Chains A and B, each alone.
Chain A
Amino acid sequence: MSEISLHRGISMHRIGAMILRYWYLLLSSWPRLLELVYWPALQIITWGFLQLYIAENAGFFARAGGTLIGAVILWDILFRGQLGFSISFLEEMWARNLGNLMMSPLKPIEFLLALMSMSLIRLAIGVIPMTLLALFLFHFNFYSLGLPLIAFFCNLIFTSWSVGIFVSGLVLRNGLGAESIVWTLMFAVMPLACIYYPVSVLPVWLQHVAWALPPTYVFEGMRALLIEDAFRADLMLDALVINAVLLLASFGAFLALLRSAKKNGALLSGGE
């Protein structure tokens, strides 16, 4: 994989080849397909009933219908987006195929673009049935959020890719021994992203940290939309700027980790 020639042409043909590779893999394995739908469905059912119960017993939640279900769906976009990216990357490590790819004309940017595309495909397979369940079981129409939903989605998916690129670089450098970080890093973001509660709940010093994370802006924006019926474009723009910085930083980190992996011979071992 050529890391130096990033400035030269990006080949859609090679990106398409990699997407095809992951698509073939998904189609060849029903457990992989089931896994994409299983957890999101469980999540929405559990949290949906909780939302119903709270709404019947608390005036605030009755007014703010859908904040919990909306938060669950948006969190799943963030989490599944990163997993969709990282699992496709891990498939190469598990299959010991990374050497073949690194030796091919595939460029790192093309590899990452293919992983991003796959995260969207995997996300669609998992989250669309989830939103339909929310609609039919709990009468929460996720798509009624309208245009703001696009802003929420874009910001969350950009963050998920940044995390995905960074953890993939870590696994590339440190081998499958670092695999657990793929599954757990996003949970470190969870308490600070204020998914189920407003930022004002946090101690003041921690609020500064929370506002450094783009998902915080999205969940605050979702609450503003569902509770106050107001779309906070300012929050979305701030999140977009932080996301741009995070994406650039994660890509730089990936290249540095790839270089370090080549320096240490990690691409030859690739194991633990």
Chain B
Amino acid sequence: MTENDAASSRPTVADRPPAAIEVEHLVKVYKETRAVDGISFSIARGSITGLLGGNGAGKTTTIAMIMGLVLPTSGRVRVLGHGMPEDSAAVLGRMNFESPYVDMPMRLTVRQNLTIFGKLYAVTNLRERIAALADDLDLNDFLDRANGKLSAGQKTRVALAKALINQPELLLLDEPTASLDPDTADWVRAHLESYRRQNQATILLASHNMLEVERLCDRVIIMKRGRIEDDGTPDAIMARYNRSTLEEVFLDVARGRVQETLR
């Protein structure tokens, strides 16, 4: 193979699929509060990225702008190659989310809820899909029970089933294991890892659980007061702060104890 042949078979920028999420100079101002302050990042397809930060850091607002639930004051968001929110119809069926800020209807059974969301997402072979999710996420014992009568752990599994009903290419998760016992939380993380592996899906998750982020994420974006404070692999960030856990890094950032090496 000549050098020219090799060059022509190499994927060009135009051939490469666009990043799963591209955020450019994103700003969100609520009256006096600058919730997100000019952040830019790009998330590669097939990766798991953690969005870290204390309360009020701007994580939820950022995710909400990516989903199109909140309109940016300025800046640009592109999801799976389409501008949000102006071209959201092209991508909403290819993504999904789970958040503690929303619930599934309480009086409906798990099966009814999954049926309705499956129909909204135009899932083909819906019965089989629900049966497969029920097996995967261990929902069979309470598939015909009202959602309001489930435990917190069971509800989280149902919310995850809803988030996976359309086999999304992009999954946005806001505190996916909040209020779960360690066993259920570990189980959810294992499932997310396996879903990403099997589907080459992209996952962006906001979390306060540093162990979760260390275990799941290829990359971590740390936010503080609406800005990106740091961005890199968990190992690189821990090395940069000369710390052995992300929790220590988080505390350093939250309390403004930036290491000399970063200055």
Residue contact B96 to A17, C-beta cutoff 8 Å: no
- Given the known interface contacts A25-B107, A28-B107, A104-B117, the answer about A268 and B101 at a Cβ–Cβ threshold of 8 Å is yes
CA distance A270 to B146 in the complex (A): 23
- Given the known interface contacts A4-B86, A262-B71, A267-B69, the answer about A100 and B108 at a Cβ–Cβ threshold of 8 Å is no
Is residue B99 within 8 Å, beta carbon to beta carbon, of the partner chain?
Answer: yes
Is residue B142 within 8 Å, beta carbon to beta carbon, of the partner chain?
Answer: no
Which residues on the B side are within 8 Å of A232 (C-beta)?
A: none
- Segment from A8-16, A38-46, A147-155, A235-243 that makes contact with B: A8-16
Task: Find residues 80-112 in chain B having any chain A CB closer than 8 Å to their own CB.
Answer: 85-89, 92-93, 95-97, 99, 101-108, 112
Q: How large is the interface on A (under 10, 10 to 19, 20 to 34, 35 or more residues)?
A: 35 or more
Residue contact A17 to B108, C-beta cutoff 8 Å: no
Task: Find residues 97-134 in chain A having any chain B CB closer than 8 Å to their own CB.
Answer: 97-107
Q: Across the two chains, which residue of chain B brings its CB closest to A8?
A: B89
- Given the known interface contacts A4-B87, A14-B119, the answer about A25 and B99 at a Cβ–Cβ threshold of 8 Å is no
Is residue B64 within 8 Å, beta carbon to beta carbon, of the partner chain?
Answer: yes
Q: Across the two chains, which residue of chain A brings its CB closest to B106?
A: A95
Is residue B70 within 8 Å, beta carbon to beta carbon, of the partner chain?
Answer: yes
Residue contact B119 to A100, C-beta cutoff 8 Å: no
Task: Find residues 1-37 in chain A having any chain B CB closer than 8 Å to their own CB.
Answer: 1-5, 8, 11, 13-14, 16-18, 20-21, 24-25, 28-29
Residue contact A25 to B116, C-beta cutoff 8 Å: no
Looking at the complex, which one of B88, B95, B103 makes contact with A4 (CB distance below 8 Å)?
B88
Residue contact A96 to B86, C-beta cutoff 8 Å: no
CA distance A113 to B64 in the complex (A): 26
Residue contact A99 to B71, C-beta cutoff 8 Å: no
CA distance A103 to B96 in the complex (A): 7
Which residues on the B side are within 8 Å of A3 (C-beta)?
A: 85
Which residues on the B side are within 8 Å of A106 (C-beta)?
A: 120
Residue contact B121 to A105, C-beta cutoff 8 Å: yes
CA distance A102 to B96 in the complex (A): 11
B82 CB, min distance to chain A CBs, angstroms: 11
Which residues on the A side are within 8 Å of B162 (C-beta)?
A: 100
Is residue B49 within 8 Å, beta carbon to beta carbon, of the partner chain?
Answer: no
A interface SS class: helix
Looking at the complex, which one of A28, A97, A104 makes contact with B92 (CB distance below 8 Å)?
A104
Q: Across the two chains, which residue of chain B brings its CB closest to A5?
A: B89
CA distance A268 to B96 in the complex (A): 16
A32 CB, min distance to chain B CBs, angstroms: 9
- Given the known interface contacts A2-B88, A2-B89, A17-B116, the answer about A96 and B102 at a Cβ–Cβ threshold of 8 Å is yes
CA distance A102 to B142 in the complex (A): 27
Q: Across the two chains, which residue of chain B brings its CB closest to A260?
A: B71
Is residue B67 within 8 Å, beta carbon to beta carbon, of the partner chain?
Answer: yes
Looking at the complex, which one of B69, B86, B87, B115 makes contact with A103 (CB distance below 8 Å)?
B69
Task: Find residues 22-40 in chain B having any chain A CB closer than 8 Å to their own CB.
Answer: 30
Looking at the complex, which one of B61, B71, B102, B122 makes contact with A105 (CB distance below 8 Å)?
B122
Looking at the complex, which one of A4, A104, A259, A263 makes contact with B121 (CB distance below 8 Å)?
A104
**0/1 per residue, A216-240, Cβ < 8 Å to B?**
0000000000000000000000000
Give chain A's interface residues, CB within 8 Å of chain B: 1-5, 8, 11, 13-14, 16-18, 20-21, 24-25, 28-29, 91, 95-107, 259, 262-265, 267-268, 270
Q: List 10 A-B contacts (CB under 8 A).
A: A2-B92, A3-B85, A16-B119, A24-B108, A24-B116, A97-B105, A103-B96, A104-B120, A105-B89, A268-B61
